[in-house]
Amino acid sequence: MNQRQLRSVISLIVVVVVAVFGFFQNQKKGGGIGGGGTSCQDEFRAGQPGSTTTGVKLLCRNEYISLYDPARKVPLVVAEHLTSQELQGDTPRTDNFQPDPELASGARAELTDYRASGYDRGHMAPAADFVAGQTQMTQSFYLSNMIPQNPEMNRGIWAGLEGATRACTKSLGELYVLTGPVFVGRARTIGPDNVAVPSSLYKIVVSGDSARAFVLPNRTLPKTGDFTRYETTVDAVQTATGLSFFPAGGVNTAQDGKFCSGSYGG
């Protein structure tokens, strides 16, 4: 082999090594699933949350990321990096609920599962957070972003908590938001696909190194603007869910944050 041929072989090896490295880095970051940010991590505050549940899938969307449980057919946590700019759009709500096109039948909820179930298709990342674009709005109505939710709770106090979070975002400029279900007690399901019904829902909002965490039972609750009665610590939510929300650290999980008292009532 002459020198020119040797250089060609070395160059080819370098190209292959770089390509393989890039592929595995992309897979590690979740870039092979969905159509979210360039790294499929940009909605997380401090790394991808860890879960004790096996078989979870990382679903990347344009403005949210979900850790999805194909066994329960619900997301375990939906993450948003919510900014005040994203809330300034005028994209109308579509109500175009649909099964997630990236999940196979048998690993996803279907419209028939919710029909006549007595439960709402409850958004984890709310549609009102995605007024900046049609793609974001469409993706927010995938059933992989839903859990079976008590109707009065969904349309009442939970909608109020979502609105308070948007108000806090507008006040501070940005928040990281984590939302999902809590399963405690007797297991309940709906529909032919056995979509799991959570006992409670949590929402965690993060500003800088401070976090506020709220857990609301999945049942009819009195409407209120004072959400402090449902406030707890991130550590308590981690214990209840088996999730580790901030693996890279930098967030106080033991104490309640004190920001946006005007939005959350204290």
Name the residues annotated as catalytic: 123
Q: How far apart are CA 21 and CA 31, in angstroms?
A: 13
CB 148 within 8 A of CB 197: yes
Amino acid 264 reads: Y
Q: List CB contacts of 200: < 8 A, sequence separation 6 or more.
A: 181, 182, 184, 215, 216, 217, 218, 240
Residue pair 37/60 in contact by the 8 Å Cβ criterion: yes
The CA R_g of the chain, rounded to the nearest whole Å, is 20
The answer to whether the CB of 245 falls within 8 A of the CB of 178 is: yes
**φ and ψ at residue 18, rounded to 5 degrees:** -65, -40
Beta-carbon count within 10 A of 231 CB: 17
User: Please, is 15 exposed, middle or buried when counting C-beta atoms within 10 Å of its C-beta (0-12, 13-18, 19+)?
Assistant: exposed
Burial group, residue 18, by CB count within 10 angstroms (0-12, 13-18, 19+): exposed
Those residues whose C-beta lies under 8 Å from the C-beta of residue 60, and which sit 6 or more positions away, are 30, 31, 33, 34, 35, 36, 37, 40
Alpha carbon 92 to its chain's center: 21
End-to-end CA distance of the chain: 76
